[in-house]
């Protein structure tokens, strides 16, 4: 079965790929708005890990709407959720050709989060399975699995190459409001970037 996994090259989505690879033909899929080339970091990681890779074109209007929401809120949560839902819809669309779609959301994630009803709706409308392989794993279990299975680089968000659309959303905010606004919306938090896996 062909499965497309929304991929950021971070530890959660990489761990999700490892959990699924025994059971599906996994393609790592990184959404991008055509704003920057940051998605290429994800392709490099996918190549290093031996996974198929595709990029997924997202609607730039959704990026602009998400940035509007984030600037108004002063925090990224609702904007990120909006973009994640859009990316899942694009991934599940018939043109993508996948039998199943997946993401790296964990049990304890506040955002993005896909409810049971949203999952069922996505499956019914697009005729695919939606799978969140980390939905039954808490933060501690994920951390221990990451330690045991992944080589990871950790650092502040602005210094770590982000492969997914978060980098593009940061770029959009900096263009519109200046670089300082990025730090207001995305409070300092550590990002991770996977460099290798142990199989």
Which positions from 127 through 186 interact with its own copies, judged by CB under 8 A? 129-138, 140-141, 144-145, 148-149
Span interacting with its own copies, options 31-39, 84-92, 101-109, 174-182, rule CB under 8 A? 101-109
| 13 lies in the binding site for its own copies (CB under 8 A) | no
Q: In what order do the strands lie in the sheet with 25-32?
A: 52-57, 25-32, 2-6, 100-102, 129-131
The conformational region for residue 53 under phi > 0 = left, psi -120 to 50 = alpha, else beta, is beta
| 119 lies in the binding site for its own copies (CB under 8 A) | yes
Binding mask 57-76 for its own copies (x = CB under 8 A): --------------------
Residue 4: which of 71, 55, 68 has the closest Cα? Answer: 55
**Which residue in the set 2, 25, 123, 177 belongs to the binding site for its own copies (CB under 8 A)?**
123
Cα–Cα separations (whole angstroms), residue 192 to 11, 117, 187: 6, 30, 15
Q: How far is the CB of 6 from its own copies (least distance, A)?
A: 13
Torsion, CA 147, CA 87, CA 117, CA 120, rounded to 10: -90
* Interface positions with its own copies (CB under 8 A): 1, 18-19, 22-23, 100, 105, 107-108, 116, 119-120, 123, 129-138, 140-141, 144-145, 148-149
């Amino acid at each position: 079965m062909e499965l497309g996994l929304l991929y950021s090259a971070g530890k959660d989505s990489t761990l999700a790929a490892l959990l699924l690879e025994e059971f599906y033909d996994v393609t790592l899929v990184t959404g991008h708005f055509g704003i920057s080339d940051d998605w290429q970091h994800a392709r490099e990681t996918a190549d290093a890990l031996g996974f198929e890779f595709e990029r997924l074109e997202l609607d730039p209007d959704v990026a602009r709407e998400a940035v509007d929401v984030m600037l108004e809120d002063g925090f990224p949560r609702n904007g990120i959720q909006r973009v994640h839902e859009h990316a899942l819809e694009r991934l599940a669309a018939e043109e993508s050709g996948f039998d199943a779609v997946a993401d790296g959301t964990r049990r304890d994630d506040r955002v993005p989060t896909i409810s049971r009803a949203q999952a069922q709706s996505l499956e019914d409308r697009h005729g695919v399975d939606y799978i969140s392989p980390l939905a039954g794993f808490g933060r501690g279990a994920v951390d221990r699995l990451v330690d045991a299975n992944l080589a990871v680089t950790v650092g502040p968000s602005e210094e770590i190459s982000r492969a997914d659309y978060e980098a593009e959303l940061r770029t959009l905010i900096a263009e519109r409001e200046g670089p300082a606004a990025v730090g207001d919306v995305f409070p300092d938090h550590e990002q991770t970037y996977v460099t290798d896996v142990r199989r």
